[in-house]
Structure formats: structure tokens, C-alpha cells
Amino acid sequence: MRTLEEEMKFLERVDDTRFRVHVGFVPNMRVTGTFYANKKLETLLFDELRAYSQRGNHGGGFLPAVKQLANVAALPGVVGESIALPDVHSGYGFAIGNVAAFDTTDPASVVSPGGVGFDINCGVRLLRTNLHLKDLEPVQEQLAQSLFDHIPVGVGSQGIIPTSAANLESALEMGMDWSLREGYSWAEDKEHCEEYGRMLNADPTKVSARAKKRGLPQMGTLGAGNHYAEIQAVEEIFDTHAARKMGIEREGQICVMIHSGSRGLGHQVATDALTSMERAMARDNIVTNDRQLACARIQSQEGKDYLDAMACAANYAWVNRSSMTFLCRQAFAKMFNSTPDDLDMHVVYDVSHNIAKFEEHMVDGKLKTLLVHRKGSTRAFPPHHPLIPVDYQFTGQPVLIGGTMGTCSYVLTGTERGMQQTFGSTCHGAGRSCSRHSSRSKLDFQEVLDRLKTKGISIRVASPKLVMEEAPESYKDVSAVVDTCHEAGISKKAVKLRPVAVIKG
């Protein structure tokens, strides 16, 4: 076991926002690693590494994020670098905030469920409105309650969108096209959604009966943990041109942010895949540094089955966010005695945080098709990229960065530098700075609520325990994370939003 000083010899600061992790930091590294952190954020990562060095590998729990980043750099078929964004923190196998790409032409290349996460296509959707903060203030508490009443929240919550087994099969295959067919989505919504709200390789026959059973009652539900629906006001506009393209034109304008994923269905898809991949690893003699990095060759049956099932879970998550969009529009329409259309409740964009997708990128001067894993990170494609909507061709893809409860959120845009350095990826949020258990033991439920009220934020929460787990003190400073990405040039600040009302599980 190395001391912290010995470990630090493998880490090199490249510039004000980047560190390089050199080969040798962990065994069998095939590429280097890079993590993004400014002076403020680097302390958390190095403290974690220091604690690991002092306790040895006997402390239980996850490895330090920097170690996980390096272990990913040792996986078969990995190319470029293993990348960690500024919100990185330890996760299952891959760190949360880790991006890695695998060469599809290399028969040894793998796909790993740990590189996607258990909440497949956990993501964020932003709706704009033509309302101003002054329109909201007289009815703020009533609107918060109405949203809480409309959207089912909490662990085990059940949806009010009627769903049969046959409808679920269709939703898994069709994604937002199902929502459109059933009348829960506007035709233009999917135009402002990553993958247009549907992964075409989805095959519901690859999703287990148990996963479908878990997903059937949860359609159109928020869930718990860090998921939320939040009414927000525009606090600052950094890029007027980009903001106008998004329909965001003035400070005080009201928006709604929905953060949710694939619920129990996605979790079961990941669990099922990990079991089958452990067998595939033994058969194909695949060796990894960490048993949590269970994986299978991309071209193996297990690899193909996982990608087809993951696509179904991703489609389910888009349907889920579309269903909550429908419920949100209903709540606003009733409160303001209007229609969602007259309130201009259009989707600005919908981004995925936990997903693996086939994309084309330049590697060593050659255009290659890669399987890009993004876990706790957001796709951030630059202007003129063919996979982003016509509306955003001149600004770059909108990137939605959800803040922590009671702090600000951001809208960024993708850049060409991000395309070159991070496979077109950027951060996804603040990133945890302490465990959920630690938050519960250190923070007081009532104190957290009182602080939110002094800021003028209405809150509705199904479980008081979650208030402590999701308090701002449990997370890194989202502004420091976003500023690091902006300074590094991998994404560009466009809009800052502050919470007015928060709905949580």
C-alpha cells in the first residue's frame, strides 16, 4: 500500500482546471486519466485519497474516485483517456462523473453497466413559461402544493398514468413516440430531447419480467433520492443569444426543471446485466481491477442484450419525464386558468446523465465509432453538430445542470473544446461531498427546512429523512463545478436559475 506522497507522484496538474493521472497509478492502465478540478474542488478528491492511503484497502465502501477513474483506464478497448468531470465522486465501479469510450472495431472492447449506473437515463428536463416571478408570488404556495398533488413522489410511489402490460411494452420500444401517440406529449417536445426521446435499438424481449413488473406501476413518478421537480426563476443570463434561442428572454422568467430516471425498471435491468456479465467474464477471461467493473465484450450476446435492455430503460425514462411534463402542464394550467400552450410551456431540452451510446469521435487523428459511457455526466455537443436540433445549431446543445435543494441550477452549451477533450461531455450537477448516512447524522431536518423558508423557497417533501440527505451541505458547490467546466472550455455558461419551489420524494 502506497503512502499519499507516493500516490501523488502519479498525479500531475496540467493547468488551472485539469489533472492528469499517469499510467502506473493502478495496475494494467491502458490509457491515462484526466480529472477536472479547480483549487477548491481538488481538496475533496485528495482528502478522499489521503483517507484511503491511511486506512489501507480495508475500510469498506467504494474506492476513491481517482482510483476508480484509473481502474476504468485499465478496461479492455478503452481509448483516449478515462475522464472525470468536476462533480466526480465515488460510485459503483465507475465513479459518478466518469466518462470513458471504447473502440467498437476492437473485438476486446467492453460495455460495463457500472459505466451507466443503476438509474439508467437519469436525466433532467427544462420547461420554460411566459410567466414572471411577480405572476407566481401570490400563488407560490398553492402552486407548490398543486405540483406535489399532481406528480406522484417518494420511494415506491405509483403513477396515475394508466398503463397496461401491453402499453409498457410499447413504451419501452417507442420512448417518447409512445407518449406522443397516447397524448401525453407535444409533437415538438421530442425535437428538443437527446436522441429525440427514443433509442432505436430497444428490444423489450431483453428486459426481464421482474424489471417490467417493477416498472409497470411507476410510470410518471418522480421517485426519491436526488430526484425533484423544481419551479425556478431566471436569475442571470450570461449568453443572451443562446438564451433567446431557448426561449429564455428575461430575468425573473419562470421555468420548471424535472430530474428523474427509469425508476425500479432501470435498476433491475442493471442488476440483471451484472449477474450475466460476471459469467461472461469468467468464460472470456476478462480481468478487471475491481469486481464492480463487471463487463462483457460489446459484440458478445451478453453485451448486445444489455445494450438493447438499457435502451428500453432509457426510453422508459423519457416516457417518465414526458408523463410528468404532462402533469406539470396540467397543474400550471389549472392554477393560472389558462392552457399550457398559452403559458408557452415548451421543452427547452432534455438531457441524459447515465447512458452508453454509439457515437463518432476523433481519436489520434482518426474518426472512430465509439461506445461512450457517461455516468453522472452530460452530453455537450458543440454548434453545428448533426445530432443536435436545428434550433440549437448555432449555439451548441443546451446542457442542464441541476443544483442541490435550495441552491442554483444552470443551463450551459456544448463547445468544440469539449468535443476534443471529453468526448463532448460535461458535468451533470454538484456531486456529493459526503455520504447520505453522514448527512443524516450531522444535519437537522427542521433546520434545513427553516433555511429554505428564509430564502423564500416553498418545499414539499414526502420523506423528512431525504431533506437531510439532499441538503446543500451534502454536496459540492454547484457554481464551483460549473465555473470549472466554463474555465476549462468544455462547456459555456448561458443561464443561471434559482429555486422558487421544490418538490421531492
Residue 267 to residue 212: CA distance in whole angstroms: 11
- Distance from C-alpha of 382 to C-alpha of 365, rounded to nearest angstrom: 18
Q: Which grid coordinates are listed for 27?
A: 495496475
Q: Which of 125, 120, 118 is nearest to 327 (CA)?
A: 125
E strand segments, 75-223? 78-89, 96-103, 110-111, 123-132
Q: Quick one: which of 303, 320, 343, 336 has its CA closest to 258? A: 320
Sheet strands (E) in 59-181: 78-89, 96-103, 110-111, 123-132
Cα gap 346→118, rounded to integer Å: 29
Give start and end residues of each alpha helix (H) in 285-429. 301-335, 416-421
Q: What are phi and psi of 372, to 5 degrees?
A: -95, 120
The residue assigned the cell 482518426 is 366
C-alpha distances out from residue 250 to 139, 238, 255, 417, Å: 21, 11, 11, 29
Do 455 and 501 form a contact (C-beta atoms < 8 A)? no
Which whole-number Å values give the CA distances from 7 to 12, 16, 48, 187, in the listed order? 11, 20, 12, 53
The catalytic residue among 150, 346, 428, 486 is: 428
- Is 428 one of the annotated active-site residues of the chain? yes
As given in the structure block, the three cell numbers for residue 350 are 432534455
The single-letter DSSP state of residue 64 is: P
Residue type, 481: V
Q: 413518478: which residue's cell?
A: 221
**Residues with catalytic roles:** 428
